[in-house]
Amino acid sequence: MRKWPIVILFLSLSVHAQPLQNIQILKGLTRPEVQRVMNEMRAGLDVHCHFCHAADDTHGASDVKPQKAKAREMIRMVMDLNARNFGGKPVVTCFTCHNGHPRPATIPPLPQAVPPDTVEVPAKVFPSVTSIIQKYVAAVGRELTPTTSRVLKGTHKSPTGPQVQITVADNGEKLRGDIQLPDGTLLSQAYDGTAGWIRDKSGVHDMQPDDLVNARMSRRAFAPFYTSAIGDDAHVVDSEKIGDHNAWIVEASNARYWFDTGSGLLLRRVAYFNSPVGRIPEQTDFDDYRDAGAQKLPFLIRVALVDPWSGGTRQWESIQVGAAIAPEEFEKPQG
């Protein structure tokens, strides 16, 4: 899908895009939501956007390529399968059958190797979710809460853009980001959960609806971890390696969490969000834990999305917890 001109706090600067055109099925979704759904489909087949969209079609409205008509058929099929067989839950996705190939395999390969006899494997013994959370809390020293103010300074590197300097002021619902481009230009955004503003080379202007959706989507991807996010339905499902670290996997209804079996620290969070074509994953890796006041916090955050042009890596140089942030920092500037 479209690459945003510069990645900042909320994935992009103001979209200033034309209204969505020729939407026949995914009605009622915002532009960022449609783009995320399109990238979920793109990832399922491991193709470029131009697999369905004409290369010179800047708005994605053209029906000149037959693959686009087929994609609409596939969307209807997936929605119907989930409605008829899973109570409307987004169980079946494009990836379910395609597994990263434009043409899904429909028959088993030959010749077939003789399979080994079934060997009964002893059931794995896992620690309880409670003990994993307790070990995490002991490791970080003191938990952050959603109302804890923070000022973070460091760098942001998007998958396709330059590395830039970034400062984030986070105070509950309010969030501000200032970014310095390689040419010295300073860009700013602020958001309070329902409204926001952007200051760029064209001046200061209010966030438009698509900007607000981008803000919410990016904030949740880079958000810190709170143990309160793990509900009573969570359970330990397995263990595996994340890099060089062994990790317990805790599964909740809408996310999975990987906790280091040794240190107890959180290594990875994969959150899932429902869409018409299935659950869409958002992966956040936490690394480089250091002391920040009374707690340990990850100074390296990596976000991976089905949109390979978004996400990125943030390396914090300093994190000030409990910082006093003046209210005017979030107010829309004049001019």
Classified by CATH at the fold level, domain 129-330 comes out as outer membrane lipoprotein receptor (LolB), chain A (2.50.20)
Residue 135 confidence (pLDDT): 98
Helix (H) or strand (E) holding 38: helix 31-45
**Reduced to 3 states, what is the DSSP secondary structure of residue 120?**
coil
The C-alpha angle with vertex 330 and arms to 290 and 288, in degrees rounded to 5, equals 15
The model's pLDDT over 9-44, given as tens digits with 9 standing for 90+, comes to 454 444 445 678 899 999 999 999 999 999 999 999
> What is the mean predicted confidence (pLDDT) over 285-297?
95
pLDDT confidence of 118, banded at 50, 70, 90? confident
The DSSP output letter for 162 is: -
Q: pLDDT tens digit string along 205-246? A: 999 988 888 888 888 889 999 999 998 999 999 999 999 999
Going through the chain in order, the beta strands assigned E by DSSP cover 150-157, 163-171, 174-180, 186-191, 196-200, 203-206, 235-242, 245-251, 255-260, 266-273, 280-292, 295-305, 312-321
CA dihedral 126, 130, 131, 133 (to 10 degrees): 110
The amino acid occupying position 202 is S
The residues spanned by each domain of the chain are 129-330
Distance CA 274, CA 86 (A): 14
Q: Which of 94-103, 117-126, 202-211 has the highest mean pLDDT?
A: 94-103
Q: Is 321 helix (H, G, I), strand (E, B) or coil?
A: strand
Task: Report which of 308, 273, 279 is spatially closest to residue 39, judged by C-alpha positions.
Answer: 308
What pLDDT is stored for residue 1 in this prediction? 39
pTM of the model: 0.91
